[in-house]
Amino acid sequence: MKRRRKGAFSVFSLSFLDCISCGFGAIILLFVIFRGSHPQILEKVEVELEGLLQDRENAIFEIRGDTLRTNLDLERALEQLSELEDRVAQLQRRFSEAQGQYAASDARARKQAGDEESLKRALQNLDLSRMPEQKPTNVVGGIPADSEYVIFVIDTSGSMDQFERLVARKLQETLFAFPNLKGIQIMDADGNYLFSGTEGTWLSDSPSERRRLMDRYLNWNYDSGSNPAPGILTAITDFNDGENKISIFVFGDEMDSGNPTEFLSIVERNNPKLENGDYLIRIHGIGFFTDYAFSGPTGKNFADIMRILALRNGGAFVGITDR
């Protein structure tokens, strides 16, 4: 047997194996250290992501709330816009009506001016010496116009809304029959004055005052009852001073029967006949659309009672059948 040579080198010596084992151990140790710290990093990242997600959800909720409020504001704005559009359409219709009325009034004014000019020329060419002498009259259209003061008692209930323009025209025509008045007053069927604060006093008569009265009447929005008896009694008791000659014009279409005998008696006591058979206060009735079949018993009551009232107080009753 051969003897191994002394001092020969071996790859798998104990020193080499120790080095290799130490290297593997170091690698394993590093791997363990790295794997031990990895979950902590992941947990931190997860917490941060959850916080970020919660912030995003809160922001989404706020955006949804703002969107809801914006939508509500938008709906309200659209409703207001629709109302304003309706209002503008109404105003445009009223403006068109006013333009039409103005054009018609302007045409009537031009026609009236032409008629007046023709009348002036006819009077200039008229030989007054051949005209028979005539006594002055205080009767206009069958209604005495000898009063110095005029009071209008106008039914402003819902049934009279359809006659508003017709009432205004008859109001103008009545005032035209009294060119020189010392005082005017107007109230509704309940005795409420058109101009508050003028109770028991007279409005001065002038063209501007008459225009103001007409404008105020056309914008009078108060709804009275359909029974003009309270307004008639208010007019008599507030203005009968035993001296002034007054005419009361009652405009209406209906009248509750109530107790007509008592009502007529109260009027008679407060407006007695003078020694010459005349009355200081004349009461006239103007009935609108006096079609009994249409207006029913209240319309007939108005016509009947006002006819008797006018007859007993030196006035006249006129029924208007057109609208």
Q: What is the pLDDT of residue 16?
A: 67
Residue 158: predicted pLDDT? 86
Which pLDDT score is estimated for 147? 87
> pLDDT at position 195, please?
93
User: Can you give the pLDDT at residue 297?
Assistant: 76
What ranges do the domains of the chain cover?
A: 23-124, 139-320
pLDDT of residue 1: 47
**With 90 as the cut, is the pLDDT of residue 152 above it?**
yes
Confidence of residue 183 (pLDDT cuts 50, 70, 90): very high
Cβ–Cβ < 8 Å for 277, 314: no
Using the predicted structure, report yes or no on whether residue 323 has a pLDDT greater than 80: no
For the chain, how far is it from start to end, CA to CA, in angstroms?
A: 156
Q: How far apart are CA 181 and CA 150, in angstroms?
A: 8
Residue with tokens 């009325």: 101
Q: How much of the chain, in percent, has pLDDT values that exceed 70?
A: 74
> Residue with structure tokens 């508050």?
196
User: Is residue 43's pLDDT more than 60?
Assistant: yes
Distance CA 1, CA 305 (A): 168
Over the chain, what is the mean pLDDT?
A: 79
Give the pLDDT score at 132. Answer: 39
Whether the pLDDT of residue 288 is over 90: the answer is: no
The CA distance from 174 to 60, in Å, is 74
Q: Is residue 154 within 8 Å of 315, Cβ to Cβ?
A: no
As given in the structure block, the two tokens for residue 175 are 């005032």
- Mean pLDDT value across residues 190-208: 93
Q: Is the dihedral of CA 170, 150, 147, 206 positive or negative?
A: negative
pLDDT by residue (tens digit) across 239-248?
998 888 999 9
* Sign of CA pseudo-dihedral 167, 169, 171, 173: negative
Task: Give strand pairing partners of 185.
Answer: 151
Superfamily of the domain at 139-320: von Willebrand factor, type A domain (3.40.50.410)
Predicted pLDDT at 234: 95
Specify whether the CB–CB gap between 277 and 312 falls below 8 A. Answer: no
pLDDT digits (tens, 9 = 90+) for 253-285: 888 767 888 888 999 999 988 888 889 999 999
Model pLDDT, residue 282: 93
Lowest-pLDDT choice from 72-81, 145-154, 222-231, 295-304: 295-304
Judged against a pLDDT cut of 80, whether residue 322 lies above it is answered with: no
* For residue 300, pLDDT beyond 60: yes
Main-chain phi, psi angles of 86, to 5 degrees: -65, -40
pLDDT for 311:
92
**Angle at CA of residue 214, ends 151 and 317, nearest 5°:** 40
Helices (H), the chain: 14-124, 164-176, 207-218, 229-239, 260-270, 292-312
| Type and span of the H or E element at 218 | helix 207-218
Convert the pLDDT of each residue in 102-137 to its tens digit: 777 666 666 666 655 654 554 444 343 343 343 434
Q: Is 93 a residue whose pLDDT tops 80?
A: yes
